[in-house]
Amino acid sequence: MPRTSSRKGPTNSTPTGNSSTMDLFRAASGKAASKELERIDQLFYSYANNSSGMIDPEGIESLCSDLEVDHTDVRILMLAWKMQAEKQGYFTLDEWRRGLKALRADTLVKLQKALVDIEKEVRRPSNYADFYSYAFRYCLTEEKQKSIDIESICVLLDLVLGSRFRSQVEALIQYLKTQVDYKVINMDQWMGFYRFCNEINFPELDNYDAELAWPLILDNFVDWMGSKRS
């Protein structure tokens, strides 16, 4: 009888070299991410209040001092925006992690450098309206609060819009401080200020149409500007 071949055909085997390399890469990446998060947490606890477990206003002032920026610097508000911090003057651990991981800032030196990047990021048109809206919400310090007093609004306007629309902001602030009809500003009015600065020729105001959906306070502002010129 003819002998049957005992040789086996080729088998499908997976090379182990590539998978081993990938496993090592994943392990190294995971270890690096874990170390980064550990440093981010250590930085948080160096400013956090031990009893509340949050960075409170005093901790933020200490952070600002170490970053060599004033606590009223708009970049601190931008940092809060990056963290999506919910309560004015406070950072939780989750918010801190969210912001600093996005910024790849696990040391004070890196965070100091990241403030420049945050400013550039916010200045992009796609982000600025979101930041401007966030600035209002961040200043709502009480539960169910929907408006902000005129004095605080004037400070906030100067902080978030002053560098971009100096003439408009100065005129708006002057009007807000002299008018007597409004004691507080709501979100619709706040966003109206931003739209006004972006869309209306200033100081000519020749393309302002009161028939369009502008908040009444801006109709009054335009009338006030007209009376100043006449």
* pLDDT higher than threshold 90 for residue 222: yes
Pinpoint the residues of the chain covered by CATH 1.10.238.10: 35-123
* pLDDT higher than threshold 90 for residue 18: no
Tens of pLDDT, residues 123-143:
998 899 999 999 999 999 998
**What does the pLDDT average to over 160-172?**
96
CA–CA distance, 120 with 142 (Å, rounded to integer)? 31
Confidence of residue 4 (pLDDT cuts 50, 70, 90): very low
Pinpoint the residues of the chain covered by CATH 1.10.238.200: 142-229
**What does the pLDDT average to over 199-210?**
96
**What does the pLDDT average to over 210-216?**
94
Query: What does pTM read for this prediction?
Result: 0.84
Fold classification of 142-229 (topology level): Recoverin; domain 1 (1.10.238)
Residues 82, 99 contacting (CB under 8 angstroms): yes
**Correct CATH for 35-123 of 3.10.20.600, 1.10.238.10, 1.20.120.1200, 3.30.390.50:** 1.10.238.10
Note the pLDDT of residue 191: 98
Sign of the CA dihedral 25, 26, 31, 37?
Answer: positive
